[in-house]
């Protein structure tokens, strides 16, 4: 089965050099917040990624703490 997405958050994460581990944590948190609503997960993932792109590496890694 092909996974269908409305928003390519992985492309955006790559563009802004967001580490895969951080992206996985973001997605995990969002899936808890929006269970069963992958569209909201994708949309909010892009919002968070773009916000994080302007932050330092320290601040990005702090997200995992």
Number of separate domains in the chain: 1
Q: Is residue 25 part of a domain?
A: yes
Task: Indicate the pTM of the whole model.
Answer: 0.75
Write down the pLDDT at residue 58. Answer: 54
Q: Is residue 30 part of a domain?
A: yes
pLDDT in tens, 3-54: 677 888 999 999 988 889 999 999 999 999 999 999 999 999 999 998 887 7
Q: Is residue 57 part of a domain?
A: yes
Residue 55 structural domain: 9-62
Q: What is the 3-state secondary structure (H, E, C) of 7-55?
A: CCHHHHHHHCCCCHHHHHHHHHHHHHHCCCCHHHHHHHHHHHHHHHCCC
Q: Is residue 44 part of a domain?
A: yes
Q: Is the pLDDT of residue 60 over 60?
A: no
Q: Is residue 29 part of a domain?
A: yes
Indicate the pLDDT class of residue 65, thresholds 50, 70 and 90. Answer: low
């Amino acid at each position: 089965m092909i996974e269908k997405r409305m928003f390519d958050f992985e492309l955006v994460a790559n563009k802004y050099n967001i580490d895969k581990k951080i992206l996985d944590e973001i997605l995990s948190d969002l899936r808890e917040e929006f269970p069963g609503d992958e569209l909201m997960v994708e949309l909010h993932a892009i919002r968070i990624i773009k916000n994080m792109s302007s932050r330092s590496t320290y601040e990005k890694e702090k997200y995992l703490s």
